[in-house]
Amino acid sequence: MRLAIVGALGAGKTTLFRAFTGQTGPQGDAAPSGAGPAVAVVKVRDPRLETLRERWNPRKYTPIAVTVQDFPGIPDRGETSGMKLGELLAAAREADGLIVCVRAFECDSYPYKRAAPDPLREAEDVVDELAFADLDQAVRRIEKLEKKRGNMTDDEKREHAALVRVRSALEEGRAVKSVEIPEADKKLLRGFRFLTDKPWVLAVSMPDDGGDATVAEKVQGPFEARIALRARLEAEVSELEPDDRAAFMKDLGIESLASESLLRAAFTALGTISFFTSGEDEVRAWPIPRGANAVEAAGKIHSDLARGFIRAEVYSYDDFVAAGLDEAAVKKAGKFRVEGREYVVRDGDVVNIRFSV
């Protein structure tokens, strides 16, 4: 699963990336954008999984990992960035979801064209730029198909019709994901990887001393989630040794890291849920698409488990907590379930697959 951090020049993207990763990226702090996107694999913190770890004290502990990419800034027209705009957008198209970073802080050391932050306008510009890129793609393809006139195949006719709807949505300022397209025709559009068809999470980067966090709710755009956060402080926190973090956070009055909530929000926006496997060997979280059944979940763990699937033993994380983190008590409470292949796995299920190959 890949998330791309995009936004205007100097929006605070690299700082947000540092907050996620605890690493200073190759694109230095105050330096303008470097070459391509910096990439890091980030573990998604899940307090439920941490509770399971405390309970089982396992030899191995494996949270879900996502790949985060720190993109160069999207240049204003006439400005330069480390990548050409077209290359940048093409690379962003490969991501599964976008984190759109918008600046609400002031910073003297960065060569902004306008020093004063204007998050609403900045977000609007980014949304327009990405939507325009989608429109451009749709229009080009429509023109190409229309040159064929009577020689379009049936699939091409359906693709054309779907693209015409995409085009009108974009022209009206709506995102591709808002267009209702029959499931069968969606396949024909999949190759375009439209930017406004992806899940988007808004990250408003706030000044260190806070400021009005409600600005995040006022930002317009096709966002599935909106978060305001003090990314620079959070970057400093995540660069500390784990032991020093708690004290530093307490000093700053930060209870939990918004960058972690942001990652979870992105994860949810992608339509992904987590189930857990637990025991003394390993405590692990697994990502699956919402709606996946028990066999599909088993297959995520290992193809043998799907092939030889017999049954899934399941209890919910919440029931486990309610039973004092005791499996015997879960059974006694009647919350330990034996499920078949078709069972739709829920977020927070603790699963044990019985199989034979």
Ligand X SMILES: Nc1nc2c(ncn2[C@@H]2O[C@H](COP(=O)(O)OP(=O)(O)OP(=O)(O)O)[C@@H](O)[C@H]2O)c(=O)[nH]1
Kindly list the residues in this chain that would bind ligand X in the complex (CB under 6 A). Answer: 7, 9-15, 27, 29-30, 32-33, 72-73, 105, 107, 109-110, 205, 207-208, 230-232
Q: Which does 221 bind (CB under 5 to 8 A by kind): ligand X, Mg ion, none?
A: none
Q: Smallest Cα–Cα separation from 14: which of 232, 257, 264? A: 232
* Residues 264, 1: Cα–Cα separation, whole Å: 12
Of the pair 99, 312, the CB lying nearest ligand X is at: 99
Residues of span 12-31 touching Mg ion by CB under 5 A: 13-14, 27
DSSP annotation string for 104-154: -S--TTS--SS-S--HHHHHHHHHHHHHHHHHHHHHHHHHHHHHTGGG--H
Q: Smallest Cα–Cα separation from 259: which of 326, 204, 337, 189? A: 204
Residue number with the shortest CB distance to ligand X? 73
User: What's the closest the beta carbon of residue 257 comes to ligand X, in angstroms?
Assistant: 13
Q: Which stretch binds Mg ion (CB under 5 A): 6-14, 180-188, 221-229, 252-260?
A: 6-14
Q: Which does 163 bind (CB under 5 to 8 A by kind): ligand X, Mg ion, none?
A: none
* Residues 306, 297: Cα–Cα separation, whole Å: 8
User: What's the closest the beta carbon of residue 25 comes to ligand X, in angstroms?
Assistant: 8
Q: Which does 292 bind (CB under 5 to 8 A by kind): ligand X, Mg ion, none?
A: none
Q: At what angle do helices 85-93 and 119-147 cross, to 10 degrees?
A: 80
Q: Which does 11 bind (CB under 5 to 8 A by kind): ligand X, Mg ion, none?
A: ligand X
User: What's the closest the beta carbon of residue 13 comes to Mg ion, in angstroms?
Assistant: 5
Of the pair 29, 244, the CB lying nearest ligand X is at: 29
User: What's the closest the beta carbon of residue 329 comes to ligand X, in angstroms?
Assistant: 46
Of the pair 15, 196, the CB lying nearest ligand X is at: 15
Of the pair 20, 317, the CB lying nearest ligand X is at: 20
Of the pair 72, 299, the CB lying nearest ligand X is at: 72
* Residues 113, 12: Cα–Cα separation, whole Å: 15
User: What's the closest the beta carbon of residue 34 comes to ligand X, in angstroms?
Assistant: 8
The angle subtended at Cα 261 by Cα 65 and Cα 1, nearest 5°, is 30
Q: In what order do the strands lie in the sheet with 225-229?
A: 38-43, 65-70, 2-7, 97-103, 200-205, 225-229
DSSP annotation string for 62-103: E--EEEEEEPPPBPPTT---SS-HHHHHHHHHTSSEEEEEEE
Of the pair 207, 271, the CB lying nearest ligand X is at: 207
Q: Which does 286 bind (CB under 5 to 8 A by kind): Mg ion, ligand X, none?
A: none
Q: How far is CA 101 from CA 69, 317, 338, in A?
A: 12, 33, 44
User: What's the closest the beta carbon of residue 258 comes to ligand X, in angstroms?
Assistant: 11
DSSP state of 230: -
Q: Which does 207 bind (CB under 5 to 8 A by kind): ligand X, Mg ion, none?
A: ligand X
User: What's the closest the beta carbon of residue 137 comes to ligand X, in angstroms?
Assistant: 24
* Residues 287, 44: Cα–Cα separation, whole Å: 11
User: What's the closest the beta carbon of residue 129 comes to Mg ion, in angstroms?
Assistant: 17
DSSP state of 176: G
Residues that bind Mg ion (CB under 5 A): 13-14, 27
